[in-house]
Amino acid sequence: MGGVEAGREDITDAVDRMRDLRVVVVGEVILDEYVLCNAIGKSGKEPVLVSRFISSELQGGGTLAVANHIAEFTENVSLISALGETDTREDFVRSALDPRVAATFVYKSQSPTIVKRRYVDSYSLSKMMGIYHFNPEPLNGSAESTFCEALSKALRTADVVVVADYGHGLITEKALGILCAHAAFLCINTQMNAANQGYHTLSKYPRADYACTHEGELRLDARDVHGDLGTIMRATLDRLGCQLLTVTRGNLGTRLLHYQGGFYESPALAQTVVERVGAGDAVFALTSLAAALSIDPSVIGPLGNLAGAQAVAVLGNRRSVQRSDLLKRARSMCSSKRRQTQGVLSAHTD
């Protein structure tokens, strides 16, 4: 494994360099609704669990969350996405979006804005059931033309294009062709969910400069459950022509592969885990910016995991990754490592 442990100065320098990047975020807007309940018991006449409603919370997820994370680190970020023509919820979408993000929306016909409602046990926060409100059909007609025109225009001045593709019909073949042909630095993440499992993987993209995915999603793409992860990563990197590939592995942290530098392992840094939804988006957002700047891979892994640690400490996307908190945690980690090193040296001296 290559690389050295990132110091606070390395992470601070990486974060400072992100400020001037011109970033375009592309992908589906998703609203995450959490309905908190208390289980009462089995229905008297049906084999059904009955719960008592406690409260509900609507959050900006999908590319809203990705763009909000990025807005903390760069002064020039825009979002290109779609809302539903029916039940658009545009007022909420715009209120959930960081005011520093310039948004362009098209309107998908015969579709609501995507809402993913999750019924959650209020005590354990375990999910009981999920319901998707969406139209899975591809964007078409005038909406697709308008979307592709906005995409083409934005790519002319973008330093980096961050594509969070959730597989709900926004990124059509035409849009895919524009992204792959004209993005100066293309970062991709294709997420598996209940609506696209088995149909939506990294293979949708013929090329990328940077890719970030979960290990299970990478294995699905490779059709290889038990094979060596490193071998799968190298084959994927070569096929996409990537400079860098990040694989997230939950509590095992992340593994990066650089086309020249080899593999880099970074441990998970979460101290509190409330929920994992949104963690991958946070890691993807920060590592995309770092990859576009050719930051040393030994820094990219810890930087992404610091972002992921913030994301899992709250319910869903209740709070975006905060730049100040990330740097404070990096400073704390480095101080702890210095104390440990001094202790070892003192013991050796004694």
Q: What is the DSSP string of 34-77?
A: EEEEEEEEE-SSSS-EEEEEEEEEEEEEEHHHHHHHHHTT-SEE
Q: How far is CA 240 from CA 205, 216, 218, 236, 291, in A?
A: 8, 18, 13, 6, 15
Q: What is the pTM of this model?
A: 0.91
pLDDT of residue 233: 97
CA distance 61 to 46: 35
pLDDT of residue 86: 93
CA distance 312 to 278: 7
CA distance 51 to 315: 20
pLDDT of residue 139: 96
pLDDT of residue 347: 47
pLDDT of residue 5: 58
Identify any residues that bridge with 142 across adjacent strands, giving them in sequence order: none
pLDDT of residue 50: 95
pLDDT of residue 338: 53
pLDDT of residue 346: 47
Mean pLDDT, contiguous 10-residue spans, the chain (350 residues): 57 94 98 96 93 96 97 96 96 97 97 97 92 95 97 97 96 97 97 87 96 96 96 97 96 95 93 88 97 95 95 92 93 66 46
Identify any residues that bridge with 130 across adjacent strands, giving them in sequence order: 118
What radius of gyration do the chain's Cα atoms show? Answer: 21
In this structure, are strands 49-62 and 29-42 parallel, antiparallel, or unpaired? Answer: antiparallel
